[in-house]
Amino acid sequence: MAVLMECKEIQQKYIPFIDDKLSKRELDAFLHHMEECPDCKEEYDIYYTMIMGMRYLEEDNRKSSDWVSSDEKLRYAQEYLRHFRIMRVQKLLLLVILCIAVILLIQ
Ligand SMILES: [Zn+2]
């Protein structure tokens, strides 16, 4: 039951995901669910192809180079999140080093 609820929530996020409109927390949950739920992943693939196909037909051909597959889109999002996490860790480390430096300077 809980899984079903989660699937419904995830399925509402296909379009925001494709449009890069999810928050980092939502994106994290979305990507996690894609790895664990083959049903939603399959549906996402279909959705993505459909939406991108429709947009491709509507837009002029200049934008065709932006086309990535549904799997690539997921991978890019994962890399984006990983990059963000690394940045956060680096900022924390920098803060710790600064604190230590300040403490050492004061002594
Ligand atoms: Zn699911």
32 CA from centroid of ligand 1 (Å)? 10
- What is the per-residue pLDDT for 18? 93
- How many domains does one find in the chain? 1
Q: How confident is the model at residue 4 (pLDDT cuts 50, 70, 90)?
A: low
How far is ligand 1, taken at its centre, from the CA of residue 56, in Å?
Answer: 27
Q: Please give the angle made by the CA atoms of 44, 50 and 52, to the nearest 5 degrees.
A: 95
The reported pLDDT for the residue numbered 59 is 72
pLDDT the model gives residue 29? 94
Res 3: pLDDT: 57
Tens of pLDDT, residue by residue over 59-103, are: 765 555 567 889 999 999 999 998 888 888 888 888 899 999 999
Cβ neighbours for 103, distance < 8 A, ≥ 6 positions apart? none
Q: Span 43-66, mean pLDDT?
A: 78
- Tell me the per-residue pLDDT of 19-41, one tens digit each, with 9 for 90 and over: 999 999 999 999 999 999 999 99
pLDDT attached to residue 56: 79
* CA of 10 relative to ligand 1 center, distance in Å: 7
Which residue segment(s) compose the domain that 62 sits in? 2-106
Spatial separation of the C-alpha atoms in residues 103 and 107, rounded to whole Å: 7
Task: Tell me what the mean pLDDT of segment 38-57 comes to.
Answer: 90
